[in-house]
Structure 1
Amino acid sequence: MNALELKDVRKQFGAAQIIRGANLAVAQGERLAVIGPNGAGKSTLFNLISGRFPASSGEIVLNGENITRLKPYQINRRGLARSFQISNLFVHLSVYENLRCAVLWSLGYKYSFWQRLGGLRDAHERVEIVLEQIGLQRQRAVLAGVLSYAEQRALEIGITIAGGANVILLDEPTAGMSRSESDAAVELIRKVTIGKTLLMVEHDMSVVFGLADRIAVLVYGEMIACDTPANIRNNAAVQAAYLGGADEEAA
């Protein structure tokens, strides 16, 4: 059984067709990157998978269950979590508190005015594990809003994995980073997604080719290729649609 499947997924906004019959199968434990030029529909695709937008037609299947019409919180509780292009943090809470918020529901703690958060040992232990994974132990008491940009992105990845989801969606996780920060982010992503399924949108080709098991290419709402990094690099249609332009911009 695949971790995630898209079956002829389409999305229209009025007369505009943004996603035009996307088909994709992501295996359990696979790291798959989605690339494509600006306006290709990559973020829309993520929004469809995570339930932020409803699909106009088609099916989205998570771990064998059709999630096409489910709400985002319902999809999350079935094992899928995502990050966003722009960091979504509680900027006036500490690193530790941000992570604790992320683990509570997955551990069975619902809204309660009578329970003291400080006494939740299992939540504390889970947060400690994630802090170690993302390398922010020393910043545990620091407010999220005063972290460096790279640290905020690391915290967002930590929040994404903290609930124990087995399918992780990362939307441009290294955007705006320096090369050294990007390299560190790649190592972090590789470490925290061991044993999980990763679907990632990314513009940095060095990140994509260094991290992905397979690469799917989305152009004007259509998947034109999905293959290994080596085959994608040598695909003439992909070079014409995207990679050649990216290389020219980087030169």
Structure 2
Amino acid sequence: MSHALVIDDLKKNFGPAEVIRGVNLRVEKGEVHAVIGPNGAGKSTFFNLVSGAFAPTSGEVRLHGQRIDGLAPEKIQQRGLARSFQVSNVFGNLSVFENLRCACFKQSAAGYTFWRPAGSVKRANRRAEEVLAMIGLADLRDSPAGALPYASQRALEIGMTIAGEADVVLLDEPTAGMSNTETTQAIELIRQVAEGRTLMIVEHDMGVVFELADRISVLVYGEIIATGTPEAIRNDPRVKEAYLGEEAA
């Protein structure tokens, strides 16, 4: 299987503090790859490096064989990698539909131009309608995004992340703060998002991780200590000792 992401010896220092310490990772095309680890392991920093929010101190990130480390986030988005955030990132005063349409423009090569050809507007409208149906918010199309329930805002943000048709998607804590019912709905949405795409997910809920992931990597103190199938990770003594503990039983 070919690799969607190839990460080689990725490091990030903040002053004397070495937060990411030589991560090597292969994310296969079409898989759902979860990254787990204890608080302070460096998961958000790792996502920030891959998505361009931070420039690495050293190392390489390749998307479909092309280097993206050091590129600005919007350039990485235009190459086909999009990322959601732990905290809802929607525009509260805009409608659900307008949020999706903005995301379509933002992730296109002409996203920051004031004047746009009519064809691009039509494509954005059509794509926004498609995503609206996928995330189950068609009935709330014209509602202000800021008035949505929390779980619906998270669904909208996932929709905004995929609106530009990125084929590699990073989801940062997609079910954080959700009830059991909301989490079940989010899992179904993530499964839909995964169809035809490569997903990398940071997630604390082990039930979500073991239900969704094809493979799991465990990040501890800035280093990947294990990568494997959910069953292999569940039974890995290093992972039990470092992170999962009794949860793995």
The answer for the alignment partner of 2:31 in structure 1 is 30
The answer for the alignment partner of 1:166 in structure 2 is 167
Q: How does 1:213-224 map to 2 (within 5 A)?
A: 213-224=214-225
State the alpha-carbon separation in 1 of the partners of residues 83 and 141 from structure 2: 22
Q: Which amino acid aligns with 1:140?
A: R
State the alpha-carbon separation in 2 of the partners of residues 119 and 205 from structure 1: 41
State the alpha-carbon separation in 1 of the partners of residues 162 and 106 from structure 2: 13
CA deviations 1:5-43 (Å, max 9, x no partner) are: 110101110111101110000011010000000000000
Q: Which amino acid aligns with 1:75?
A: I
TM-superposed deviation, 1:192: 1.5
TM-superposed deviation, 1:247: 6.7
TM-superposed deviation, 1:120: 2.9
The answer for the alignment partner of 1:243 in structure 2 is 244
State the alpha-carbon separation in 1 of the partners of residues 13 and 114 from structure 2: 43
State the alpha-carbon separation in 2 of the partners of residues 105 and 41 from structure 1: 28
The answer for the alignment partner of 1:183 in structure 2 is 184
The answer for the alignment partner of 1:51 in structure 2 is 52
Q: Which amino acid aligns with 2:139?
A: R
> Could you tell me the TM-score, scaled by structure 1's length?
0.94
The answer for the alignment partner of 1:212 in structure 2 is 213
State the alpha-carbon separation in 2 of the partners of residues 45 and 112 from structure 1: 31
TM-superposed deviation, 1:105: 4.6
1:6 aligns with 2:20: no
Secondary structure in structure 2 of the residue aligned to 1:93: coil
State the alpha-carbon separation in 1 of the partners of residues 76 and 108 from structure 2: 16
Q: How does 1:142-161 map to 2 (within 5 A)?
A: 142-161=143-162
- Point out the more displaced range, 114-123 or 210-219: 114-123
1:83 aligns with 2:48: no
Q: Which amino acid aligns with 1:94?
A: S
Alpha-carbon contact 1:170-1:201 (below 8 Å) kept: yes
Secondary structure in structure 2 of the residue aligned to 1:3: strand
State the alpha-carbon separation in 1 of the partners of residues 226 and 171 from structure 2: 20
Distance verdict in 2 for CA 1:114–1:128, change over 3 Å: same
TM-superposed deviation, 1:122: 2.0
Secondary structure in structure 2 of the residue aligned to 1:38: coil
State the alpha-carbon separation in 2 of the partners of residues 19 and 119 from structure 1: 40
State the alpha-carbon separation in 2 of the partners of residues 48 and 107 from structure 1: 21
Alpha-carbon contact 2:92-2:145 (below 8 Å) kept: yes
Distance verdict in 2 for CA 1:73–1:179, change over 3 Å: same
The answer for the alignment partner of 1:132 in structure 2 is 133
TM-superposed deviation, 1:142: 0.5
The answer for the alignment partner of 1:196 in structure 2 is 197
TM-superposed deviation, 1:114: 5.2
Alpha-carbon contact 1:90-1:145 (below 8 Å) kept: yes
The answer for unaligned runs of 5 or more in structure 1 is none
TM-superposed deviation, 1:117: 7.9
Alpha-carbon contact 1:107-1:123 (below 8 Å) kept: no
> Could you tell me the TM-score, scaled by structure 2's length?
0.95
The answer for the alignment partner of 1:17 in structure 2 is 18
Distance verdict in 2 for CA 1:104–1:36, change over 3 Å: same
Count of matched residue pairs: 248
Alpha-carbon contact 1:100-1:123 (below 8 Å) kept: yes
The answer for the alignment partner of 1:98 in structure 2 is 99
TM-superposed deviation, 1:104: 2.0
State the alpha-carbon separation in 1 of the partners of residues 124 and 200 from structure 2: 27
What is the RMSD of the two structures over their aligned residues, measured on CA atoms?
Answer: 1.9
Q: Which amino acid aligns with 2:195?
A: I
Distance verdict in 2 for CA 1:94–1:38, change over 3 Å: same
